[in-house]
C-alpha cells in the first residue's frame, strides 16, 4: 500500500501545479479551505481503508466505488471551493484520481467511462460473483476519452434525481403546473406530491408516473430519438448523465430496456449537477466555475449570466424534497441505528417528518425499532440527499450542512457496487463499510472546516 501512496501523491504534485497557489492563498487570506490535492489525498485514503475493511466475499468481483466531493464556502465565508474525484475498481485497487481542471472543475480528463454490460435478460453481469472482465471487449463509451477504462456502476434510485430535473424543466417551461393531478396506480396525486414521494421515499410507482409525464409532454420522444433532458445535461457540460430508453408508459427498469447500461451517472457529473441546482437557489456561495468565461476580466463572470440550470422556484422545491429524505441508510445510517452491529455514517439528523408521536422513526407503515431519539441531539449536520440500492449497487448523493452556523458545507456523490447482496440484516442496503466511509470523509472535512 505504501508504494501506491507514493505513486498517488507524486502524480498529484506533478499534475496539479495549482496546489501551491491554493496553499499560498490560504495562508494569505486565512481561509480554512483545503486545496484540491489535500481533498484528493484524503478521499483516496478513505477509499483504500474502505477496501481494506471489506470481507473476502465483497472482493468477488473487485468492487467499484466512484466518489466525488465539492467543499463549499461557509455562509458569509471567503468564496473559495475545493473539489476532487477518486475511484477504486478492478485494475485500480489503490485508487485512480480523476484529473479535474483546478480552475474550471471540468473533467475527469484521464477516464473513459463505459456502459455497464448486461445479459440477454438486461441484468448486469459485471458485478456477479466470478465475473470475468476479460470478456467485456467492446463496451459502449458513456463519456470521456482518457486512457483509463472504467465501467460506470448503475446509480440505482439516484437516477430519480435526473427524473426530478426533467419534471422541474417541464414546470419552468410552463408545460405543467405543480398541482396538476396524475394517476398513480389507483390513486391521484399532484405532480408536486409525486416528486416528493419519488425523492423522500424512493417510490417506484411515483417514478413510473413521472417518467410517463416526461414522455407525454414530449421532453423525451423515443420514436424520433429526441431527448431534451439529455441535451439539457450536455448543454451544462454534464456528459456523464444519461437517461435513455425509458418508455412512454413510464418504464425505466431493466425489463423495459432501460435500467442498467442506459440510466447512468458518474459521481463527478452527479455532484456537479447538484452544484448547479444549488447555484440556482443562490445558496452555493460560489458559482460553478465551468460556466465562467475564460476571457472575462472577472473569473466569476458567467458566459450566460442569466442562465440557470433550473429556475430558483424549481431548485428550491428540489432541495425541499432532498431535505426530507427518509432513507438515511447509505453514507448516513441514522435510520438503522437499532440494527445489530450498527456503524454510524455521516452524523446527520433525521428529518422530523419521520418521527411519530412516540419518538419512533416511522416511514409509512414501517417502524424502525431500536432507534434512540436522543441521537437526534447528537447529530452535527443535515444531509439533503437521495440514496439508491439494488442487489448489486448502493449509491448516495447530496448536500451536507453543519447544523451550527459557519461550519462545513459540501456536496458528495458516491456510486458503488456494494449493494444488498453483501448485507447481514434485512433492513440494510449496503455493508457497514459504506457508512464508515461517509463518517471518515465527514470527520476529516469537519476537522478542516470547523
Note the pLDDT tens digit of each residue in 212-225. Answer: 999 999 999 998 99
Is residue 34's pLDDT more than 90?
A: yes
Separation of alpha carbons 316 and 301, rounded Å: 23
State what percent of residues in the chain have pLDDT above 70.
Answer: 90
At residue 332's C-alpha, the angle toward residues 322 and 8, to 5°, is 110
Residues 2-15: pLDDT tens digits? 334 333 443 433 33
State what percent of residues in the chain have pLDDT above 90.
Answer: 77
Coil, helix or strand at residue 448: helix
Across the range 318-342, mean pLDDT stands at 96
> Distances from the Cα of 398 to the Cαs of 271, 328, 394, 427, in angstroms?
8, 11, 14, 22
- pLDDT value, residue 188: 96
Is residue 435's pLDDT more than 50?
A: yes
Report the range of poorest mean pLDDT among 68-72, 124-128, 298-302.
298-302
Separation of alpha carbons 155 and 153, rounded Å: 6
Is residue 28's pLDDT more than 50?
A: no
Is residue 335's pLDDT more than 90?
A: yes
Rounded to the nearest integer, the mean pLDDT of the chain is 89
Is residue 182's pLDDT more than 50?
A: yes
Residues 344-400: pLDDT tens digits? 999 999 999 999 988 889 998 888 877 888 888 899 999 999 999 999 999 999 999
**Contact of 22 with 38, CB cutoff 8 Å:** no
Extended strands (E) in 322-374: 361-363, 366-368
- Three cell numbers, residue 253: 427498469
Residues 105-122: pLDDT tens digits? 999 999 999 999 998 888
Q: Partners of 412 in the beta sheet?
A: 69, 398
> Distances from the Cα of 112 to the Cαs of 25, 108, 145, 274, 282, in angstroms?
33, 9, 5, 22, 33
> Distances from the Cα of 313 to the Cαs of 174, 217, 304, 309, in angstroms?
12, 20, 19, 12
- Which band of pLDDT confidence, cut at 50, 70 and 90, is reported for residue 304? very low
- pLDDT value, residue 292: 76
Separation of alpha carbons 37 and 82, rounded Å: 9
- pLDDT value, residue 375: 83
pTM of the model: 0.91
Separation of alpha carbons 183 and 335, rounded Å: 30
- pLDDT value, residue 7: 38
- pLDDT value, residue 306: 54
- Sequence-distant (6+) residues with CB within 8 A of 63 are 51, 54, 88, 89, 127, 416, 417, 418
- Three cell numbers, residue 375: 441521537
Is residue 237's pLDDT more than 90?
A: yes
Residues 52-101: pLDDT tens digits? 999 999 999 999 999 999 999 987 667 899 999 999 999 998 999 999 99
- Which band of pLDDT confidence, cut at 50, 70 and 90, is reported for residue 307? confident
Residues 191-211: pLDDT tens digits? 999 999 999 999 999 999 999
- pLDDT value, residue 422: 96
Is residue 249's pLDDT more than 80?
A: yes
The residue among 177, 125, 170 whose CA lies nearest residue 151 is: 125
Extended strands (E) in 33-147: 65-71, 82-89, 92-97, 111-114, 141-143
Report CA torsion sign: 342, 348, 354, 355.
positive
The residue among 139, 143, 140, 147 whose CA lies nearest residue 110 is: 147
Separation of alpha carbons 32 and 74, rounded Å: 10
Report the range of poorest mean pLDDT among 164-168, 288-292, 295-299, 340-344.
295-299
Separation of alpha carbons 32 and 46, rounded Å: 21
- Which 8-state DSSP code applies to residue 118? B
- pLDDT value, residue 63: 96
Q: Residues of 416-431 as b/e, b for ≥16 C-beta within 10 angstroms?
A: bbbbbbbbeeeebbbb
- pLDDT value, residue 371: 80
- Three cell numbers, residue 443: 470527520
Amino acid at each position: 500500500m505504501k508504494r501506491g501512496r507514493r505513486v498517488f501523491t507524486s502524480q498529484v504534485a506533478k499534475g496539479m501545479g495549482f496546489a501551491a497557489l491554493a496553499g499560498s492563498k490560504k495562508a494569505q487570506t486565512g481561509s480554512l479551505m483545503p486545496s484540491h490535492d489535500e481533498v484528493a489525498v484524503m478521499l483516496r485514503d478513505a477509499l483504500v481503508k474502505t477496501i481494506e475493511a471489506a470481507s473476502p466475499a465483497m472482493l468477488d468481483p473487485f468492487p467499484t466505488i466512484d466518489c466525488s466531493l465539492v467543499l463549499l464556502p461557509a455562509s458569509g465565508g471567503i468564496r473559495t471551493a475545493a473539489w476532487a474525484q477518486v475511484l477504486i475498481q478492478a485494475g485500480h485497487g489503490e485508487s485512480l484520481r480523476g484529473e479535474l481542471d483546478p480552475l474550471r472543475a471540468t473533467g475527469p480528463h484521464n477516464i473513459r467511462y463505459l456502459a455497464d454490460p448486461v445479459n440477454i435478460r438486461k441484468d448486469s453481469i459485471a458485478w456477479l460473483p466470478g465475473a470475468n472482465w476479460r470478456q467485456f471487449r467492446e463496451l459502449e463509451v458513456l463519456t470521456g476519452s482518457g486512457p483509463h477504462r472504467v465501467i460506470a456502476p448503475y446509480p440505482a434510485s439516484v437516477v430519480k434525481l435526473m427524473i426530478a430535473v426533467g419534471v422541474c424543466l417541464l414546470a419552468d417551461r410552463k408545460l405543467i403546473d405543480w398541482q396538476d393531478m396524475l394517476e398513480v396506480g389507483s390513486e391521484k396525486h399532484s405532480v408536486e406530491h409525486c416528486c416528493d414521494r419519488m425523492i423522500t421515499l424512493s417510490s417506484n410507482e411515483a417514478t413510473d408516473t413521472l417518467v410517463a409525464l416526461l414522455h407525454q409532454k414530449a421532453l423525451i420522444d423515443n420514436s424520433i430519438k429526441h431527448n431534451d433532458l439529455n441535451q439539457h445535461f450536455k448543454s451544462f457540460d454534464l456528459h456523464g448523465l444519461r437517461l435513455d430508453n425509458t418508455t412512454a408508459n413510464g418504464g425505466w427498469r431493466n425489463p423495459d430496456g432501460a435500467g442498467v447500461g442506459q440510466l447512468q451517472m458518474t459521481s463527478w457529473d452527479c455532484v456537479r449537477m447538484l452544484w448547479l441546482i444549488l447555484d440556482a437557489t443562490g445558496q452555493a456561495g460560489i458559482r460553478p466555475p465551468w460556466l465562467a468565461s475564460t476571457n472575462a476580466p472577472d473569473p466569476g463572470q458567467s458566459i450566460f449570466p442569466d442562465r440557470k440550470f433550473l429556475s430558483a422556484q424549481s431548485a428550491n422545491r428540489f432541495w425541499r424534497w432532498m431535505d426530507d429524505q427518509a432513507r438515511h441508510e447509505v453514507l448516513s445510517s441514522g435510520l438503522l441505528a437499532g440494527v445489530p452491529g450498527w456503524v454510524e455514517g455521516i452524523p446527520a439528523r433525521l428529518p422530523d417528518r419521520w418521527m411519530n408521536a412516540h419518538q419512533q422513526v416511522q416511514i409509512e407503515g414501517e417502524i424502525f425499532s431500536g432507534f434512540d431519539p436522543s441521537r437526534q441531539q447528537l447529530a452535527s449536520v443535515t444531509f439533503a440527499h437521495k440514496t439508491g440500492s439494488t442487489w448489486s449497487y448502493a449509491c448516495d448523493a447530496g448536500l451536507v450542512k453543519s447544523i451550527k452556523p459557519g461550519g462545513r458545507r459540501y456536496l458528495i456523490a458516491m456510486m458503488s457496487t456494494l449493494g444488498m447482496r453483501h448485507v447481514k440484516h434485512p433492513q440494510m442496503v449496503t455493508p457497514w463499510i459504506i457508512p464508515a466511509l461517509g463518517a471518515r470523509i465527514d470527520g476529516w472535512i469537519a476537522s478542516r472546516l470547523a
